[in-house]
Chains A and B, each alone.
Chain A
Amino acid sequence: MATINANATISSDIASYPVTISGEMTMTKSANPSVGLEETTGLRTKKFTTTTAAVIVEHDELTDDKAHKVYIRNASGSRANFFYVAYNASAAAAAEAETIGKLYGGDWMLMPYNGNVNITVASSTATETQYLEYMVFADGIEAAKG
């Protein structure tokens, strides 16, 4: 069993009173919240030079209906460019089902993921190279079959 801690701090002065949100969690298994996640696909970095959609998380490598967590970060610097991130077998686009959101340069996300459908991304630009970092904290990895 491993111990994986994920902490978020969101600070905002949008309102006239400052807002600070602190989220702390230890990633645990769906079947037992006292047992930590102990598998990962590893931290990956991928370069994108086209707008073609690509699968970054293949759901069939993960056990269905579990408490996986997916971390994704657009490691590029431009706020003009982004990645579509979708819960889809092969596509990611503006009105594609189910595109979750747009991850602009520097943005990160951490979401619970059930492992039932692929996670797909598409870069918004083919003229500027973008880099994506991503990692799955898995609640069950299906061993590759020979």
Chain B
Amino acid sequence: MATTAQISITSADLMPGSALNITASTTLTKAGVTADLDQKESGVIKLVSGTEYRLGPLATEMAGDAHDIASYLYVHNKTTEDATYYVDWGIHETMIGRLYAGDWMFIPWNASDDGAEIEIEPQGGTNIIEYCLFNSDVILPSAAA
């Protein structure tokens, strides 16, 4: 039950005379061990601008010591609009970067506590994102009695 993540970054003209060719691959495992991650959640969602959304679970929705949970998040902005459309992403209420149309990101996520949630805020209009979260210890909400 393995999940591998590979990247290549290439450019022939960013540094003329020294072509850039970065490649890397990693197998996503549970925190601190070599056992594979064994859960994931994914989706494609339309997000209306002007609202901050939480992406993925809270730390308290995952079992064990949240500090020791290894999670990895892939997000791809599938919007095809102009540069006024982007998705701010961040941790809690601190925005870290902008995911413009066509951009993707892949990060490890700490999930240290409920104040370390992944937040996204679309700008410019409705943005469409594809996401996939790989983790190991999500707890489903209890069903209502």
Residue ranges of A at the interface with B (Cβ–Cβ < 8 Å): 2-15, 19, 21, 23-26, 28, 30-33, 37-38, 40, 42-43, 67-68, 71, 73, 79-80, 82, 84-85, 87, 94-95, 97-104, 106-114, 117, 135, 137
Residue of B nearest to A35 (CB): B83
Q: Is the CB of B100 within 8 A of A9?
A: no
Listed residue (A7, A9, A73, A111) with the most chain B CB atoms within 10 angstroms of its CB: A111
Q: Is the CB of B71 within 8 A of A101?
A: yes
Q: Give, as a whole number of angstroms, the nearest-CB distance from B55 to chain A.
A: 13
C-alpha gap A87/B105 in the complex (Å): 15
**Contact A71-B108, Cβ < 8 Å, known A8-B74, A33-B83:** no
The 8 Å CB contact of B105, one of A37, A112, A135, is A112
Interface size class of B (residues with CB under 8 A): 35 or more
> Mostly helix, strand, loop or mixed at chain A's interface?
strand
> Which A residues lie within 8 Å of B109 (CB)?
100-101
**Contact A10-B82, Cβ < 8 Å, known A38-B14, A111-B97, A113-B97:** no
Q: Is the CB of B33 within 8 A of A79?
A: yes
C-alpha gap A108/B108 in the complex (Å): 8
Q: Is the CB of B9 within 8 A of A4?
A: yes
9 intermolecular pairs with C-beta atoms under 8 Å apart = A2-B13, A4-B14, A9-B6, A10-B6, A14-B3, A67-B98, A79-B33, A101-B71, A112-B96
**Contact A11-B108, Cβ < 8 Å, known A3-B11, A4-B11:** no
Q: Give, as a whole number of angstroms, the nearest-CB distance from B47 to chain A.
A: 16
Tell me, yes or no, whether B60 is within 8 Å of chain A by CB.
Answer: no
Q: Is the CB of A102 within 8 A of B91?
A: no
Residue ranges of B at the interface with A (Cβ–Cβ < 8 Å): 1-15, 20, 22, 24-27, 29, 31-34, 37-40, 42, 67, 70-72, 74, 76, 82-83, 86, 89-92, 94-110, 112-113, 115-116, 132, 134
Q: Is the CB of A21 within 8 A of B74?
A: yes
Q: Is the CB of B110 within 8 A of A102?
A: yes
**Contact A68-B97, Cβ < 8 Å, known A12-B3, A12-B134, A101-B71:** yes
Q: Is the CB of A102 within 8 A of B31?
A: yes
> Which B residues lie within 8 Å of A23 (CB)?
74, 76, 104, 106
> Which A residues lie within 8 Å of B22 (CB)?
43, 71, 135
